[in-house]
Copies of this chain bind each other. A is one copy, B any other.
């Protein structure tokens, strides 16, 4: 069964680190070799892997995504969050990580982030461990 996690986002847009939650799911599973799939069940939020060291990178990711997917007066969706839907699509709804030796195989500078694009809200995500 997948593990379910909750997250309260505090801003309209932001990237929230979830590496520790994914590691917790991996350890709890006791799987030594396999995959961890992280899944976001929302349509204005997504998942990404990026630098875990300098918080300025998160600032720049938000700024760069806003540049690529700005508000547009021709958007028709009446909720007014179409740019958020686009950013969610750009990041994607799932991540796949390799488990090796009982640990997540992450690069030195990699962290796992939950991207909020229409907050603040209470959000959820799932981690599914596959052995093999």
Residues of A within 8 A of B (CB): 1-2, 33-35, 37, 39-43, 48-51, 54, 56-57, 59-61, 63-65, 67-70, 72, 74-79, 82-83, 85-86, 88-98, 100, 105-110, 126, 128, 130-132
A93 and B94 contact, CB distance less than 8 A: no
User: How many copies of the chain does the oligomer comprise?
Assistant: 3
A95 and B98 contact, CB distance less than 8 A: no
What is the minimal beta-carbon distance from A63 to any residue of chain B, in angstroms?
6
A94 and B95 contact, CB distance less than 8 A: yes
B1 and A85 contact, CB distance less than 8 A: no
- Smallest CB-CB separation from A32: which chain B residue? B1
Inside 8 A of A94's CB, which chain B residues have their CB? 95-97
Q: How far is the CA of A4 from the CA of B106 in the complex (A)?
A: 13
B50 and A88 contact, CB distance less than 8 A: yes
Q: How far is the CA of A63 from the CA of B54 in the complex (A)?
A: 27
Q: Which of B78, B86, B100, B126 contacts A61 (CB 8 A)?
A: B86
Inside 8 A of A82's CB, which chain B residues have their CB? 56-57, 60-61, 64
Q: How far is the CA of A43 from the CA of B69 in the complex (A)?
A: 21
